[in-house]
């Protein structure tokens, strides 16, 4: 009998089969994971998350910029408020100082008022002595000019001919201001209606020593365009500032009238500066006439027209015309 061969459990053929089967299982697992819907959804979700985060980052950056701008604006407002507060505090100190002075030195203030009243009386008596037919006006006057007004408006010719004698005009402006120790309101404009202090516009400037000094300082370089026709400025001043409870005087400074008709100017001003029940005009109109030139030259016709117009205008409107003859 032939002997049977021993069967080996781990022969080469058996191992080949085992390996092939294991490889097939691994391949199936790989293929199944490649098309797993969970993996595909995860990739898509990651992109959306990135986009969302980028949007949030941009929004955060915008909010930071807005916050920084707001912070800067707040700082600016705080700085401006501090400046305003400093100005108000300085003004308050000035008012308190004047108030304390008035309380501590009443006799000195009364003496100053008495001296001013005495000076007015002496000037008025001298004028009465020199003019036999002088009739005392109902209101106090200095140098023949009534000074009863509480509000003063200057209408100044700023043309080239006036600029040539501007230092003289500055001095006369200061002298007129000195005639009124204190008033309730001031305003300065040129004959075309251009204000010296444009920021105040059609409102009264409060009378303070600082304002008077500022007027004198600004006058030195003030030269807006002028057509040498004071009628526009006068009419504009009356229409803008007249009020029934205010006593107002207008002072006209000039040396020429280049307008077309003197009669039209008189009619136009008569129409708006009407008389009240007592026969007084709404505002007084005074004028100071400056010589056009010196040295014996003939007076231009425009200067003669200015003098004639202002003389009649002041006479009709309760004022005084002062014609200067030389710079002294």
Q: What CATH code is carried by the domain that includes residue 209?
A: 3.40.50.410
Residue 44 in any domain: the answer is no
User: What pLDDT is recorded for position 69?
Assistant: 85
Residue 108 in any domain: the answer is no
Residue 185 in any domain: the answer is yes
For the chain, 328 residues long, the average pLDDT of each consecutive 10-residue run is 53 70 74 56 66 84 86 84 79 70 54 60 56 44 66 95 91 90 93 91 90 92 92 93 92 92 92 86 93 68 91 93 78
Q: Domain limits at 310?
A: 140-323
User: What pLDDT is recorded for position 71?
Assistant: 84
Q: How many domains does the chain have?
A: 1
User: What pLDDT is recorded for position 138?
Assistant: 39
Residue 118 in any domain: the answer is no
Residue 180 CB partners (closer than 8 Å, separation 6+): 147, 149, 152
Residue 192 in any domain: the answer is yes
Q: How far is CA 318 from CA 138, 139, 149, 245, 280, in A?
A: 12, 11, 12, 18, 7
Tokens standing for 43?
């990739």
Which run of H or E residues covers position 133?
A: none
Residue 170 phi/psi, 5-degree rounding, is -60, -45
User: What pLDDT is recorded for position 7?
Assistant: 52
Residue 152 CB partners (closer than 8 Å, separation 6+): 176, 177, 180, 183, 185, 186, 187, 248, 249, 251
User: What pLDDT is recorded for position 124?
Assistant: 58
């Amino acid at each position: 009998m032939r002997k049977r061969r021993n069967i080996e459990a781990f022969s080469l053929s058996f191992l080949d089969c085992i390996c092939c089967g294991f490889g097939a299982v691994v391949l199936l697992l790989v293929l199944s994971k490649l098309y797993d819907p969970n993996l595909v959804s995860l990739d898509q979700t990651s992109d959306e998350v990135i986009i969302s985060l980028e949007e949030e980052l941009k929004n955060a950056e915008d909010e930071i910029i807005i916050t920084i701008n707001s912070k800067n604006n707040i700082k600016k407002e705080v700085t401006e408020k501090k400046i305003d507060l400093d100005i108000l505090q300085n003004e308050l100190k000035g008012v308190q100082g004047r108030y304390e002075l008035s309380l501590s030195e009443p006799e000195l203030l009364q003496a100053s008022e008495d001296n001013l009243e005495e000076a007015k009386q002496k000037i008025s008596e001298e004028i009465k002595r020199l003019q036999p037919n002088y009739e005392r006006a109902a209101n106090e006057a200095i140098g023949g000019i009534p000074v009863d007004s509480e509000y003063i408006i200057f209408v100044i010719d700023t043309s080239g001919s006036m600029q040539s004698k501007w230092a003289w005009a500055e001095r006369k402006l200061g002298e007129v201001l000195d005639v009124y120790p204190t008033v309730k309101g001031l305003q300065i404009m040129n004959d075309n209606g251009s204000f010296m202090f444009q920021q105040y516009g059609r409102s009264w400037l409060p009378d303070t020593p600082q304002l008077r000094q500022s007027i004198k300082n600004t006058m030195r370089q003030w030269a807006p365009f002028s057509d040498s026709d004071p009628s526009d400025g006068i009419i504009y001043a009356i229409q803008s500032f007249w009020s029934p409870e205010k006593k107002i005087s207008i002072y006209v400074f000039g040396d020429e009238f280049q307008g077309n008709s003197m009669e039209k100017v008189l009619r136009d001003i008569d129409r708006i500066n009407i008389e009240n029940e007592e026969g007084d005009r709404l505002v007084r109109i005074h004028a100071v006439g400056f010589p056009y030139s010196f040295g014996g030259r003939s007076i231009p016709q425009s200067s003669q027209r200015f003098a004639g117009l202002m003389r009649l205008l002041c006479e009709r409107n309760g004022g005084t015309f002062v014609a200067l003859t030389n710079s002294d």
